[in-house]
Amino acid sequence: MPDSCRLDRAVARLSGLSRALSRRLIKEGGAMVGGEVERNVARRLAPADTLEVDGNTCTVAELLAPRTYMFNKPAGCVCADRDGDHPTVLGYFGDLAEGLHCVGRLDIDARGLLVVTEDGALNHAVASPRAAIPKAYEAVFTGTLPSDAAQRCARGVRHHGEDRPYQGARLEVLGDNAARLVVCEGRFHEVKRIFECLGCEVTDLRRVAIGGLALDPALAEGEFRPLSPGERELLTQPWPRGPESLSDKER
Ligand code: URA
């Protein structure tokens, strides 16, 4: 983390405004440093300085920590930094997009919880297959699940397009054509392919949790908000391993 930061950059971070609008806001007396109005846009702030804009207050150290957001991804956008054909997730972040990356991927037609961060270490800790962080999905599908679907998922099904079976996944039936599936690997089209192995086709897929972090129900599709430090920790909460983590139905 840099040990000092220009006021206009800090105000842009805190307010979500562009640098140009932040400079205007500062000149109009809208920013306070250490409780005093500061109009010098180029003033350098130290990590311990407190900044206040529009009633929001925080220290510069908090502001400069790597940003991490929860995004409620709508269908129709891609988890790529750039794409010539489709809208991207980062397009929703506008001026804030610089330096941000998606943590793992959701298919273009999948919706729901996506974490977007500039923290490379956090990205790796959550997305790396080795970390085996559980990801929970709600799927709507056509077809009928076999009666032993939960046991087959728990043991690990193998798709014809894959050279090895999937690791155990937890299936919970929510209705005739809806189920929740928790997977730990993050392989290509993993959820859709597991359902295919069970003779069903997913028609709607929504991620509802990563590790111990659930999608905020107050966040509409296309909206994002910063994660609190506590929420960032929940992201790397692992799935308990071993038979004790399986329900009676799955054993
Ligand atoms: N599994 C899928 O099939 N698609 C996704 O987007 C995520 C997991």
What is the predicted pLDDT for the residue at 241?
52
User: Is 49 part of the annotated catalytic residue set?
Assistant: no
Q: How distant, in Å, are the alpha carbons of 112, 155, 237 from that of 92? A: 14, 39, 27
Q: Is 138 in the pocket of ligand 1 (CB under 6 A)?
A: no
Cα 202 to ligand 1 centroid, rounded to whole Å: 10
Distance CA 184, CA 169 (A): 7
- Per the model's pLDDT, the better-predicted residue between 251 and 183 turns out to be 183
Q: What band does 84 get if pLDDT is binned at 50, 70 and 90? A: confident
Query: How do the domains of the chain map onto residue ranges?
Result: 5-64, 68-245
Which CATH code fits 68-245?
3.30.2350.10
Cα 223 to ligand 1 centroid, rounded to whole Å: 20
Question: Whose C-alpha lies nearest to ligand 1, atom 4?
Answer: 189
**Which residues have a Cβ under 8 Å from the Cβ of 241 and sit 6 or more positions away?**
none
What is the predicted pLDDT for the residue at 64?
84
Q: What is the mean pLDDT of residues 22-44?
A: 97
Total residues belonging to the chain: 251
Cα 28 to ligand 1 centroid, rounded to whole Å: 48
Q: Is 183 in the pocket of ligand 1 (CB under 6 A)?
A: no
Q: Is 83 in the pocket of ligand 1 (CB under 6 A)?
A: no
What pTM was estimated for this model as a whole?
0.81
Q: What is the mean pLDDT of residues 83-87?
A: 91
| One CATH from 3.30.300.100, 3.40.50.300, 3.10.290.10, 3.30.70.20 for 5-64 | 3.10.290.10
The model's pLDDT over 189-235, given as tens digits with 9 standing for 90+, comes to 999 999 999 999 999 999 999 999 999 999 999 999 999 888 999 99
Q: What is the mean pLDDT of residues 97-107?
A: 95
What is the predicted pLDDT for the residue at 4?
84
**Could you tell me which residues are beta bridge partners of residue 78?**
88
